[in-house]
Amino acid sequence: MLTITQSMAQFACALKDRPLSPEVIHHAKRAVIDWYAAWLPGAVVAPATSLEQALAEDLDRGNAFLALGRRATVRTAALINGTAAHTAEVDDIYRDAIYHPGAPTIAASWAVGQETNASGLDLLCAVVAGYEISTRIGVALGRAHYKYWHNTGTVGSFGAAAAAASLYRLEAGSYAHALATVGTFAAGLQQAFRMDSLSKPLHAGRAAEAGVLAALAARAGITGSLDILEGEAGMGVAMSNGPDWQQALATLGSDFHITRMTFKNHACCGHTFAAIDGALSLQARHGTPAADISKVRIATYRPALEVAGYENPQTPAEARFSLKFVVATALLYGSVRLSAFEPNRLADTQIRALMKRIELTVDPELDASFPGQRAARVTIETHDGRCEQFLQPTRKGDPEQPLSDAELDDKFFELAAPVVGEVKARELLARLWQLDQEPHIRWAS
């Protein structure tokens, strides 16, 4: 009987010889465009810029590129680019896996694709393989895994390894060993972002690098424990509650998860989105200025409070994980974009005053629906005694309420243009929409 890694490797190797449907290709391009939108603003700030200093000996040589065109070795490019893509908190989500697949998977794909002189279509196929394999692992590990582990670091390692193995054109046996080896590299603790630190984006970068390393090792003949997922001391037992791994294989190759991605509409933790959207909808519905609000009550699922529960954020990283801060910002300014985390906003007395009037609680019904549903119940009370309630059943950007291609274009341009300029951003966006026609991807921005 095949192990889970062997079954997944067979799927990925068959995928290389199977034309993907236009729908799957389109959604893969959407994922790459969204990754670029997250990558560029993250590339010009810490920790990516700090990593460039720390890893200087691996830069200005090699066959891969950083965001602004600096050369790098393949593993270092994967590490820095994966880190950059998770820094601004605007990267994609596969909801049921509680996981950001783009940052590690596409960072690894781009680095290896450049090193191997891959075509744009080769890259898209590798991205699909990485998303399909890793999201299923994330779904299987479930909420029990997310209690202590950061899925983008753990599950993301498999996405990166799968993508890299596809681009290195490993045969099924070596491909399975790449997945088996990366399973023992997988790491990333929730505690890393329970206080102010720069560790969280490093999880995505390290996962990208780990995936590339595992694929390189397998190509050189290094073997792994093929039952690393389902074995008696494997990932499922050690890092979850003994999941049903056969269920993870049930729709592999017939149902493509990449067609149901969540693309972020706010520049902060995704656990805050339902509350932001609900508060904005309720405010708009009743025409309630922020100055008229006496109390805001937010009832949502427990992990939202556990992960985004900063009461008094002092840094941009803390503010992105503060439900109270982002909801107050949305009610006062109408959106939560990158500007929400500038120093003047962090010190904004109006935001701070409104935060004190926001109460957070766990709604047992909404909590029971997590991770398949991300909802929030928002109540706004006014100084003149009005009380209005609204259930936000999903988030703008989720599969039930997706960003259109035009809205994705707007997001890309908003985030990319300040980094590369308006003309270059428009040229780059047009090129990415035609990525399946590109003969090679030996370019960055």
Residue 68: the pLDDT is 96
Residue 111: the pLDDT is 98
Residue 341: the pLDDT is 96
| Model confidence, pTM | 0.95
Residue 18: the pLDDT is 87
Question: Quick check: 35 and 84 in contact, CB under 8 A?
Answer: no
Residue 16: the pLDDT is 84
Q: Which residue spans of the chain are classified as CATH 3.30.1330.120?
A: 270-392
CATH topology of domain 4-264+404-437: 2-methylcitrate dehydratase PrpD (1.10.4100)
Q: Average pLDDT by consecutive 10-residue portion of the chain (445 residues)? A: 97 92 98 98 98 98 97 98 97 98 98 97 98 98 97 98 98 98 98 92 98 98 98 98 94 97 97 98 95 97 96 95 98 95 96 98 98 97 96 96 97 97 97 97 83
Residue 445: the pLDDT is 75
Q: Are strands 376-382 and 293-300 parallel, antiparallel or unpaired?
A: antiparallel
309: phi then psi, degrees, rounded to nearest 5:
-105, 15
C-alpha distances (whole Å) from 292 to each of 276, 288, 386, 431 are 18, 7, 10, 47
Whether domain 270-392 has CATH 3.40.50.720: no
Question: Quick check: 91 and 38 in contact, CB under 8 A?
Answer: yes
Q: Which residue spans of the chain are classified as CATH 1.10.4100.10?
A: 4-264+404-437
Nearest to 85 by CA among 100, 68, 99: 100
Residue 236: the pLDDT is 98
β-pair partners for 391: 377
